[in-house]
Structure 1
């Protein structure tokens, strides 16, 4: 069995009719933090090899996500 971590940022933004750029702007407005658009894009496309805890917390705060299961899941391959 092989397990991989999947960040659901693409699904979350689609559900909210929000773009990656709008998320960056929301983080700036709501939390007064600067986040690189490239960092959001890498998470959105599940291209990151490691997860930055601070970035995850920042995105979750901006989007008001309180359950990590909404944001990160395991893909299981047998």
Structure 2
């Protein structure tokens, strides 16, 4: 697995989008990091804006391409 693929997988594990392997899940460093990420996510975003645990995100970063009235840049 390449660096980008492992980064994406770890991100999905950290936000509970996918179940991590047992060896990762019981790792104390992963557990600490997962708790920190989930606390930040729950503190700074509304539950209705989050994906259901175990489910993929509904929208992607390319949603700005879906119409004429979309913003020129993704943050506008």
Work out whether the TM-score is over 0.5.
no
User: Structure 1 or 2: larger strand share?
Assistant: 1
Larger Rg: 2
Give the number of the structure with larger relative contact order, counting CA–CA contacts within 8 Å between residues 6 or more apart.
1
Which of the five TM-score ranges fits, normalised by the shorter chain?
A: under 0.3
TM-score normalized by the length of structure 1: 0.24
